[in-house]
Structure 1
């Protein structure tokens, strides 16, 4: 297949069929990749959390972000910030695992801010307070690893974090 041609569906919308690695980076056509998450899947909140946690634990936060994105787009308006914030945490971890200090820290903080309205409650058993703390702590470590310029400027490179080792627990045990 011609690598310069964009894949399109029957309506002309771009559909990138290139294989991707576990962190969502495109691979050359024909290379073995990680199966992509189907788009537009409507899941119950329980199914969303279970599938996203499975993907996070497997070191595939990019794919977990896609699961959260489906919930964000299909769920009730009152819950959209919850799912959007979780998607941003997952993509922040993705960037940190790719070695992008600035992007990782920024998205982790943005996701934590989106979750702030759910602080003090555990929607669907999700430990929001713990996730906000996890995001801030990881953002700080990623910035420090990226050096003094991580908070400003272009895409600051840092040593990639291990996505599976850094994966948050969405539903910690109740205290």
Structure 2
């Protein structure tokens, strides 16, 4: 998200809607919100201020899907979908467990409209190892445009497999 630098930085809507806006920069989507995002009713802008209890966040609850349909999240999801519909787009996910079906469906739907985009999912599975039956593995097994990489296994080209380094790197 791009915010105008000011005493109270605010969201630049053009950065959400226009892919040519700051075209030579890497785009970062933080779909579940951010501490310090607030909606100012007077200016009708999303501001970035000091974090507090009024932050615009999506918490794990039964309201998560409904909350994700609000602004700025709906705009972020639209932009992400439109980005993935471009030729040769690459999305790298890190810290995303692929456990949110409403987000997964938007991503997979966008991939189906394009033959050249790809997603690389980097999964931290130190405490919860993924296997061939894991939800995150299913995403990769069902779509050749999604590659999932974990600490000792991966899903590439709809195939699940284990992998290991031949030798540990020297430090």
State whether TM-score is above 0.5: no
Higher relative contact order (CA 8 A, sep 6+): 1
Larger Rg: 2
Normalization by structure 1: what TM-score? 0.28
Please identify which structure carries the higher helix content.
1
Please identify which structure carries the higher strand content.
2
